[in-house]
Amino acid sequence: MLIRAFTRHDLAPLTELTIDTFRPFYEESFRPSVGEAVFAVQHGNWREDYRTQVAELHAPERHAYVAVAEVGADLAGYVAWSVDPPRRKGEVTVLAVSARHRRHRLGTALCEHAFDRMRDLGAEVVEIGTGGDRFHAPARALYEALGCTPHPLTVYFRQL
């Protein structure tokens, strides 16, 4: 496995990887749990939202970075993070690993890479979040294995 810096030619494959990774959450978890009306308002354009978000993740002028993992010729995953130097705080904004490369410690390696880069930029604390639903259980297990402490947060939705 090679972890390297993001280049512009990574944008399209990373966008598709993000959409593939999170499709089960939006379509099989979130949509059924909140219903069509709430889904349409909250995440009805989630694919387009990711197309916009992924394009803006790597912005070193804003202390925002992306690292890409390759396994052989495959783009296997990526991590995006940002650092707020005055607050000495970093945040992992996206972690995505292709289904084919999960359960091979790729997520761990990507997070550790991002943590090291954050430290290099003066961060002393990192924030990394995920959902409390079944889809996100592997992410929660990973973050806890990395020594992160969970802080419960509950978000409610209701159609008016």
If you write DSSP's letter for every residue of 16-62 in order, what string do you get? HHHHHHHHHIIIIIIHHHH-HHHHHHHHTTHHHHHHHHHHHS-BGGG
Rounded Cα distance, 90 and 10, in Å:
23
φ, ψ of residue 18 to 5 degrees: the values are: -65, -45
| Tens digit of each residue's pLDDT, the chain (160 residues) | 999 999 999 999 999 999 999 999 999 999 999 999 999 999 999 999 999 999 999 999 999 999 999 999 899 999 999 999 999 999 999 999 999 999 999 999 999 999 999 999 999 999 999 999 999 999 999 999 999 999 988 889 888 9
Q: Catalogue all structural domains in the chain, each as residue range(s) with its CATH number.
A: 2-145 (3.40.630.30)
Please count the other Cβ atoms lying within 10 Å of the Cβ belonging to residue 67. Answer: 19
